[in-house]
Amino acid sequence: MKRLLVLGAGTAGTMVVNRLRPKLDEGEWTITIVDEEEIHYYQPGFLFIPFGALDPADVVKATREFVHDGVEVVHAGVELVDPENNTVTLADGRTLEYDELVIATGTRTRPDQTEGLLESGWRDTIHDFYTFDGAVALHDKLRTWEGGRLVVNIMEMPFKCPVAPMEFSFLADAFFREKGMRDRVELVYVTPLDAVFTKPIAAEHLSHLLDEKGVHVETDFYVEHVEPGKLVSYDEREVPFDLLVTIPVHMGAEFVAKSGLGDELNHVPVDKHNFQSKKFANVWAIGDAADLPTSKAGSVAHFSVDVFAVNFVEHVHGRPMPEKFDGHAICFVETGNDKGLMIDFNYETEPLPGKYPIPKIGPFSLLEESKINHMGKMAFRWAYWNVLLPGRPMPMPAHLTMAGKYQSEGA
């Protein structure tokens, strides 16, 4: 009997076991998934909790509810992987053996990695919304905040969902206008990038929207440390704040570093087309745990698993892997006032204007605000719980298609 061991029961890990269980003979393969959390979080929903658009209960369900029968679930932390001996030691001292290992433990916020961040007003004048507790605490803060200088800041690349900080800025603009206090709030967006997004075409569109909504942008700002009421960069620039909403440094799991499987941020170096470890042929990393040169986003996990599931079955039968992941990512970008835009790109191709998924029809507009884009983003929560996680097919190609896109504006 061969053993597939998956570490992490988030989006990518849950999809992997659910896709592979029907494909791997139960008489030949056991599948085990390990995660210390008994709760599964719908992380895209964290963005909406601070503004009251979703309740905390809307984004949590039991992990076991989404794992297919025939997959063993182990609730425990991971202490160490020994890839030379194909074993994993759990935090409770148990040892699990494997023939194939998938690391899907994601990436997480590490506010402790920035000097002064936790000591200068954490959960008071400094908040985040990338964790469940953080989003709930920020909701409570915004209910009573009387205004001032609100700074949205990105500490370091890469981080989960690169558009979310901008989405927060857009939603904050709409939120304070609805409360009749926008004139008492100065919104500032601070990024280490030289533009508001990593892709120039999308950056141009998003920058225009930030300008339109009166959000001041500070680029090339690498935070060296945080003082009460102030961000300080390595080049000694300062950005004062009354309320800081920060996206802390993101890092992979600690066991990845201890096991010698990670880079400096504990993400696993893999072949960007098939997710196989660059060190060990029977170790894979998928989703946010991998060092893929594309967005750490739910859509990337989704499309990655589409490719991985096909390749893995061929690989374990000694056949060549037929699929190559192209870095495909789709993001709905919430822009406030029940509108949104959509971007669709991959490793090689920039986000382009057009319609998705049906050329000239859509219904979704690329790089253009529309109400139906907002509706698509909000409806995705249902699709996530009922289609994506259970491993059911979604009518979205894993690879980027140029159908419906214009090569340039006005083309």
Of 197, 224, 249, the domain-final residue: 249
Q: Is the pLDDT of residue 205 over 90?
A: no
Same domain, 151 and 63: no
Does the residue 408 lie in any domain? no
Q: Which pLDDT tens digit goes with each residue over 296-343?
A: 999 999 999 999 999 999 999 999 999 999 999 999 999 999 999 999
Total domain count for the chain? 3
Does the residue 407 lie in any domain? no
Q: What is the average pLDDT value for the chain, to the nearest integer?
A: 95
Same domain, 101 and 128: no
Amino acid at 299: S
Of 196, 224, 249, the domain-final residue: 249
Of 223, 249, 275, the domain-final residue: 249
Same domain, 168 and 220: yes
* CATH number of the domain within which 154 lies: 3.50.50.60
Does the residue 163 lie in any domain? yes
Same domain, 93 and 221: no
Name residues whose C-beta falls within 8 Å of residue 345's C-beta, 6 or more positions apart in sequence: 199, 202, 327, 328, 329, 351, 352, 400
- Give the separation between CA 144 and CA 334, rounded to whole angstroms: 24
- Give the separation between CA 145 and CA 162, rounded to whole angstroms: 26
Does the residue 205 lie in any domain? yes
User: What is the value of pTM for the model shown?
Assistant: 0.95
Same domain, 234 and 131: yes
Q: Which pLDDT tens digit goes with each residue over 240-266?
A: 999 999 999 999 999 999 999 999 999
Q: Is the pLDDT of residue 410 over 70?
A: no
Does the residue 400 lie in any domain? no
Same domain, 244 and 258: no
Helix (H, G, I), strand (E, B) or coil at 124: coil
Same domain, 135 and 245: yes
Same domain, 295 and 278: yes
Does the residue 175 lie in any domain? yes
Name residues whose C-beta falls within 8 Å of residue 259's C-beta, 6 or more positions apart in sequence: 80, 81, 82, 83
Are 331 and 161 spatial neighbours (Cβ–Cβ below 8 Å)? yes
Q: Which pLDDT tens digit goes with each residue over 347-400?
A: 999 999 999 998 889 999 999 999 999 999 999 999 999 999 998 888 888 999
Same domain, 9 and 83: yes
Over residues 66-71, mean pLDDT: 96
pLDDT of residue 243: 98
For residue 408, name the pLDDT band (cuts at 50, 70, 90). low
Same domain, 95 and 128: no
Does the residue 36 lie in any domain? yes
For residue 103, the enclosing domain spans 2-107+252-316
Q: Is the pLDDT of residue 90 over 60?
A: yes
Same domain, 124 and 238: yes
Same domain, 239 and 256: no
Residue 409, classified by CB atoms within 10 Å of its CB into exposed (0-12), middle (13-18) or buried (19+), is exposed
Q: What is the rounded (10 degree) CA torsion for 396, 387, 52, 110? A: -80
Does the residue 225 lie in any domain? yes
Name residues whose C-beta falls within 8 Å of residue 317's C-beta, 6 or more positions apart in sequence: none
